[in-house]
Amino acid sequence: MKKVAFHTLGCKVNQYETEALASLFRRQGYQVVEFSDKADVYVINTCTVTHLGDRKSRQMIRRAKRNNPDAIVAVMGCYAQTSPGEVTAIEGVDLVIGTSDRSKVVECVEDFKRQDTPVNLVKDIMQAREFEELPVLDYESRTRAFLKIQEGCNNFCTYCIIPYARGPVRSRKRDNVITEAERLVGEGFREIVLTGIHIGAYGRDRDDGYDLAALVADLARIKGLRRLRLGSVEPEDVTPHLIATMADNRVICRHLHLPLQSGDDAVLEKMNRKYNTHEFTRLVNSIRAMVDDIAITTDIIVGFPGETDEQFDNTYNYVKALGFSRLHVFKYSPRKGTPAANFPGQVPAETKEERSSRLIELGKEMGREFARRFLGREMEVLVEQRLEADLHYMEGLTDNYLAVAFPGGNELKGEFVTVKLTSVKEEHVFGEVKADWLKKWANLV
């Protein structure tokens, strides 16, 4: 049997697409093996958000060729799309695919005839107008499934390469989204996570007025779906309709990830973000007023060109005052082809590191503070896996994104359990499974 191995860099969208490609290869008779194994085909799904992503992509390409010098190496994803010349120049690369026509990758591999130069199949992504159907046809687990609903971004933030790598907004057809969601529920998935490059722009490329809020409302009505979680949503895309839909339906998880990026208005303007701190605060307050116990998480970029000590302090104090439940901190990385790469006042690496460390520590404390609000309460947890730090414990998430650990075994994986929360340690909330729930579950099995 022919063997294929994958390595994925970057975001949840890349991970989803790799799962979809693995499904396609399996259906063509391939065995999917670990990347460290000897395979006939290696597929590297690349990222280009940072220079580190580019470098890791190149490293994995070389590693694949060391694993099997005779293997076909196919490179896809954002780095391949934005820098196909660089990728084809890497020794050992055979196929360069980019971010379109991924559904044809098996056909391309089968038709490949080894030659002196790599085959470059990258197209002009800015001309793309239709969502490419690339469903995940089989998952190894049956706990959470990602469902891609949208592709592309029209925002063109000055620091971001993604619009150039993914092209304009293309929304998946409503019926196709619903059909895949129903299939996933029928296969036993307990939670579906909506993902895409800019999911808040869902429907914006059509004229029928059907938007993210309408799609979420339709998905939440699917019989048997226990949880529906939204991926990252840009602040300007959170409409009153979306908030009301979340408030009215407990199938929809009480969690929103709203990328802030900076807490200083001058920096936000230079980033070409579509809001200011006053508008962001008003949005967060309105969400919290409508949805009880909601977790609001965010992203922050430190060291954007020209960011002064005072502007960073503004960000630090603003983030602290809003009290997010989790914080993702990124050090600004210049991306060739973006406006910000040529901005004056590039911030030294050591300054970025110091600012990043301060915000990471703040984020940890805010996470613990949010978690402490729920001590003594009973929360429903979807069990996902063993706790790596202590194999006597299992861990999972509440609907409002608390990472909960409790004593238990693998038989609970994929189950919803009721846990009484008792303590907070680092990034986990610890608790005990309710005895009456365990008795009920034992009787069911």
CATH number of residue 391's parent domain: 2.40.50.140
For residues 282 and 351, membership in a common domain is answered with: yes
> What residue has token string 């490949």?
112
Task: State the total domains in the chain.
Answer: 3
pLDDT of residue 137: 78
Residue 61: predicted pLDDT: 85
Asked whether residue 195 falls in the same domain as residue 306, the answer is: yes
User: Any idea of the CA torsion for 300, 304, 310, 314, to the nearest 10 degrees?
Assistant: -20
Per the CB < 8 A criterion, the answer to whether 176 and 225 are in contact is no
pLDDT of residue 140: 65
C-alpha distance from residue 445 to each of 235, 310, 412, 442 (Å): 44, 60, 11, 5
The reply to whether 73 and 162 lie within a common domain is no
Classify burial at 5, counting beta carbons within 10 Å of its beta carbon; exposed 0-12, middle 13-18, buried 19 or more: buried
CATH number at residue 259: 3.80.30.20
pLDDT at position 11, please? 86
Residue numbers in the chain where pLDDT is lower than 50: 445
Looking at residue 118, its pLDDT comes to: 81
Cα-based distances in Å from 180 to 105, 198, 397: 21, 19, 23
Q: Which of 320, 344, 372 is the last residue of a domain?
A: 372
In a shared domain, residues 164 and 215? yes
Residue 289 lies in a domain: yes
202 and 348 in a single domain? The answer is yes
Question: What is the predicted pLDDT for the residue at 439?
Answer: 54
Q: Is residue 138 part of a domain?
A: no
> How far is the C-alpha of 262 from the C-alpha of 129, rounded, in Å?
32
What's 66's domain CATH number? Answer: 3.40.50.12160
The pLDDT, as a whole number, for residue 119 is 85
Note whether 368 and 389 are same-domain residues: no
Domain endpoint, select from 372, 398, 423: 372
Last residue of a domain, one of 372, 403, 418: 372
Q: Which range marks the domain in which residue 437 is found?
A: 378-444
DSSP β-ladder status, 428-433 and 3-8: unpaired
Q: Is residue 137 part of a domain?
A: no
Residue 435 lies in a domain: yes
Residues 294 and 429 in one domain: no
- Cβ burial of 161 (10 Å; 0-12, 13-18, 19+) is buried
Task: Kindly state whether residues 358 and 395 are assigned to the same domain.
Answer: no
Based on the domain organization, do 160 and 111 belong to the same domain?
no
206 and 288 belong to one structural domain: yes
340-358, pLDDT tens digit by residue? 999 999 999 999 999 999 9
Task: Report if residue 130 sits inside a domain.
Answer: no
Can you give the C-alpha Rg of the chain in angstroms? 23
Q: Tell whether 197 is covered by a domain.
A: yes
Residues 251 and 210 in one domain: yes
Q: What's the 3-state SS for the chain?
A: CCEEEEEECCCHHHHHHHHHHHHHHHHCCCEEECCCCCCCEEEEEECCCCHHHHHHHHHHHHHHHHHCCCCEEEEEEHHHHHCHHHHHCCCCCCEEEECCCHHHHHHHHHHCCCCCCCEECCCCHHHCCCCCCCCCCCCCCCCEEEEEEEECCCCCCCCCCHHHHHCCCEECCHHHHHHHHHHHHHCCCCEEEEEECCHHHCCCCCCCCCCHHHHHHHHHCCCCCCEEEECECCHHHCCHHHHHHHHHCCCECCEEECCCECCCHHHHHHHCCCCCHHHHHHHHHHHHHHCCCCEEEEEEEECCCCCCHHHHHHHHHHHHHHCCCEEEEEECCCCCCCHHHHCCCCCCHHHHHHHHHHHHHHHHHHHHHHHHCCCCCEEEEEEEEECCCCCCEEEEECCCCCEEEEECCHHHCCCEEEEEEEEEECCEEEEEECHHHHHHHHHHC
Rounded distance between C-alpha atoms, residue 424 and residue 431, angstroms: 9
Confirm whether 128 is domain-assigned. Answer: no
pLDDT of 445 reads: 47
Assess whether 33 and 95 both reside in one domain: yes
Q: Is 173 a domain residue? A: yes
Beta bridge partners of 380: 418
